[in-house]
Amino acid sequence: MATVEIHDVPAEVLSPARRAPVGSSHIRPAVPGDEAGILACIRALAVYEREPDAVETTEADLTAALFGPHPAAFAHVAVCDDHIVGIALWFLTFSTWTGRHGIWLEDLFVVEEHRGKGYGLALLRGLAALAVERGYRRVEWSVLTWNTPSIDLYRSIGAQPQDEWMTYRLTGDALAGFGTVLT
């Protein structure tokens, strides 16, 4: 799957009360050349999530992951006056229970000065529309427990927390040690 087909979401879908005040605004799939804007959003997200030094990703990493011969991840961007002001980075999941794909939303972020204008909601709606169009059964993501503005947004669209599930992560030395093949 080399490209993601989704129609541009024009500014008109942003609620009139939240519409960007000037210029043109739209949501579109990321294209080569967007890497710097996407990376800037990733770095700003890391600052927002109190992990400013955690980002190791480079523009070259994004090029390979998003636009290489076999993309492993996909992205949509919110654009205002030709500047990327928000991102939704995602990848496909698969449910053995439904036998269908889903979308895992890895990062949803809108730069601070553009929050409250409907970009985050438009990015989410675009992914939901893509899931419905392709017959995917779910869109899932995680959110930090202290991020109440995002939690409120997610609840407002009908998303439900999966309180019975706990996320585990294997990284660093633990991953290297466990992943070492014993002979």
Summarize pLDDT for 141-150 with one digit per residue, the tens.
999 999 999 9
Q: Note whether 126 and 88 are within 8 A (CB).
A: yes
**Structural domains of the chain sorted by starting position, each given as residue range(s) with its CATH number in brackets:** 9-179 (3.40.630.30)
Q: Note whether 39 and 48 are within 8 A (CB).
A: no
Average pLDDT over residues 92-111: 97
Rounded distance, CA 14 to CA 167, Å?
33
Q: Catalytic residue positions?
A: 154
Q: Note whether 67 and 32 are within 8 A (CB).
A: yes
Q: Note whether 87 and 108 are within 8 A (CB).
A: yes
pLDDT of residue 181: 78
pLDDT of residue 56: 97
CA angle 91, 138, 19 (to 5 degrees): 80
pLDDT of residue 183: 59
Summarize pLDDT for 105-118 with one digit per residue, the tens.
999 999 999 999 99
